[in-house]
Amino acid sequence: MVASPPGKDFSVTANLARLTRTRPLLVCSLCLRVQRGSDWVPAENVIRDLRSYELAKPPRLGSAVCDDCAESILSRRAQISDVPVAA
């Protein structure tokens, strides 16, 4: 059971707890930003918005790679493949 913090609506806290238990938060394994909708935002913002520090259990996390980090990886791989190999 999730305890409602003083001055907080229990239903909101309970809904957040249920949501974070059923769907993991996707976190970029490289830059540690968290996916919120179609955006990747700093973890601090998500912690503050979800008030995860008030939950009885921490939210589940899932690993992913954000668009910016994926693009960076692909561009570095392309640069490496353009380098001629000595024969």
What pLDDT digit, counting tens, does each position of 15-32 carry?
655 655 678 999 999 999
Q: Answer yes or no: is pLDDT of 84 > 60.
A: yes
What pLDDT digit, counting tens, does each position of 27-61 carry?
999 999 999 999 999 999 999 998 988 888 888 99
Give residue 17's pLDDT: 56
Q: Average pLDDT in the 64-76 region?
A: 96
Give the residue, 38 or 1, on which the prediction is more confident.
38
Listed by start position, the domains of the chain span 10-82
Secondary structure class of 8 (helix, strand, coil):
coil
* Apex 76 CA angle, 27 and 25, nearest 5: 5
Q: What is the token pair recorded at 51? A: 């008030």
The DSSP 8-state label assigned to residue 35 in this structure reads E
Report whether 58 contacts 16 (CB < 8 A): no
